[in-house]
Amino acid sequence: MKESEILARLANKRTRCVIWTRVMGYHRPVEGFNIGKKGEHKERIKFKERCCG
């Protein structure tokens, strides 16, 4: 089954996901950012902690 078929079949069960981020000490939803700030958010490098052992 194709991904588009699965999404169409389950469309009524899907909900919108709100992504929050910390900016200048405050937590804010990304959807409220202006175009420039959204671009900066997409360019961020995500931190990945290496496991020791």
Token pair in block for residue 16:
């919108």
The pLDDT tens digits for 18-51 are 989 887 788 999 999 999 989 988 898 878 888 8
Question: Higher confidence at residue 46 or residue 17?
Answer: 17
What is the spatial distance between Cα 41 and Cα 23, in angstroms, rounded to a whole number?
A: 10
Residue whose structure tokens are 């671009």: 39
Please tell me the pTM assigned to this model.
0.52
18 vs 5, 22, 29, 30, CA distance in Å? 24, 13, 7, 8
